[in-house]
């Protein structure tokens, strides 16, 4: 009995370490964003209609870091339950330290997937700026573009692909039972796969940042809370449909005023 109590204590401690570590990663990401992500946010706020700065290798790297850190800040909290459940299952077969390391590797795979999305977002931002459709504040200057994004995001909420991805995001146990891979390499592959489901579930919602402003903290916080609710609340599926309806209506209104 004494040995079992020690084991339970170790498992609880290790889950706590993983939970705190995930929270720290998200907190550091938020601190980076609140500090401006290396950009002159004061100038962006004072002259939102000014043409964007010329692109350089440094500015592209800075934008990639901004997008990736933003995705970490928004998505790491909602990935926490899956990472913790994975750590719990691994602790039954491995030592506590090995399970904790593999849990971090799982999280790393998850975040690498969002790095891929961040690269795509930078390329999309570059394209929109080249077309003159983004302001200095990295928000759409075209009501038509904004309306189309809102409408597309709303319609996507009702697609079978969205539902399939959300199914695995909202149920850590279902994901782990269907896609379990043993070992450290398996942990990374599972993190990549889980991240791919989350990207599939949320990528259009992240594109909404081009409507409200990529560095608009109000939009960032709002999207983070919505994504967490969609994945973690028992009525997440209904919440997805309600949000879809609101986005479709908003997009239709914006487009009606634009023409």
pLDDT at 258: 79
Count of other CB atoms within 10 angstroms of residue 24: 11
The predicted-structure confidence for 100-114, as pLDDT tens digits, reads as follows 788 889 999 999 999
pLDDT at 138: 77
The predicted-structure confidence for 40-98, as pLDDT tens digits, reads as follows 544 454 445 555 567 788 888 888 988 998 888 888 888 888 888 888 888 777 665 67
The mean pLDDT of 220-247, rounded to a whole number, is 86
Is the pLDDT reported for residue 7 higher than 60?
no
The mean pLDDT of 201-210, rounded to a whole number, is 91
pLDDT at 123: 94
- What is the sign of the dihedral through the CA atoms of 152, 158, 161 and 167? positive
Q: pLDDT: is 16 or 221 the higher one?
A: 221
Lowest mean pLDDT, pick from 1-5, 170-174, 176-180, 226-230: 1-5
Give the 3-state secondary structure of residue 253.
helix
Contact in structure between 135 and 48 (CB atoms under 8 Å): yes
pLDDT at 97: 66
Q: pLDDT: is 48 or 217 the higher one?
A: 217
Token pair recorded at residue 91: 């602790």
Is the pLDDT reported for residue 213 higher than 70?
yes
Count of other CB atoms within 10 angstroms of residue 133: 17
Question: 153: number of CA atoms within 13 Å, CB side?
Answer: 26
Cα 54 to chain centroid distance, Å, stands at 27
pTM of the shown model: 0.80
Element (H, E) at 61: helix 57-91
pLDDT at 42: 47
Torsion of CA 32, 34, 37, 43, to 10 degrees: -160
pLDDT at 52: 58
**138 φ, ψ (degrees, to nearest 5):** 60, 40
pLDDT at 140: 86
């Amino acid at each position: 009995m004494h040995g079992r109590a020690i084991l339970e204590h170790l498992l609880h401690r290790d889950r706590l370490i993983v939970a705190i570590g995930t929270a720290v990663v998200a907190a550091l990401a938020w601190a980076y964003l609140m500090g401006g992500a290396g950009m002159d946010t004061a100038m962006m706020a004072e002259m939102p209609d000014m043409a964007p700065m010329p692109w350089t290798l440094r500015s592209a790297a800075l934008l990639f870091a901004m997008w990736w850190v933003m995705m970490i800040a928004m998505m790491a909290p909602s990935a926490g339950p899956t990472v913790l459940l994975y750590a719990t299952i691994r602790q039954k077969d491995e030592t506590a330290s090995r399970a904790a390391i593999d849990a971090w590797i799982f999280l790393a795979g998850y975040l690498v997937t969002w790095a891929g999305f961040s690269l795509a977002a930078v390329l999309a931002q570059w394209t929109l700026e080249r077309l003159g459709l983004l302001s200095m504040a990295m928000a759409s200057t075209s009501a038509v573009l904004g309306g189309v994004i809102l409408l597309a995001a709303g319609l996507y909420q009702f697609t079978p692909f969205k539902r399939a991805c959300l199914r695995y995001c909202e149920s850590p146990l279902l994901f782990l039972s269907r896609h379990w891979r043993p070992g450290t390499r398996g942990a990374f592959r599972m993190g990549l796969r889980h991240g791919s489901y989350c990207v599939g579930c949320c990528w259009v919602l992240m594109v909404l940042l081009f409507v409200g402003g990529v560095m608009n903290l109000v939009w960032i916080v709002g999207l983070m809370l919505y994504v967490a609710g969609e994945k973690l609340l028992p009525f997440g599926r209904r919440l997805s449909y309600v949000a879809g309806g609101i986005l479709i209506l908003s997009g239709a209104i914006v487009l009606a005023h634009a023409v």
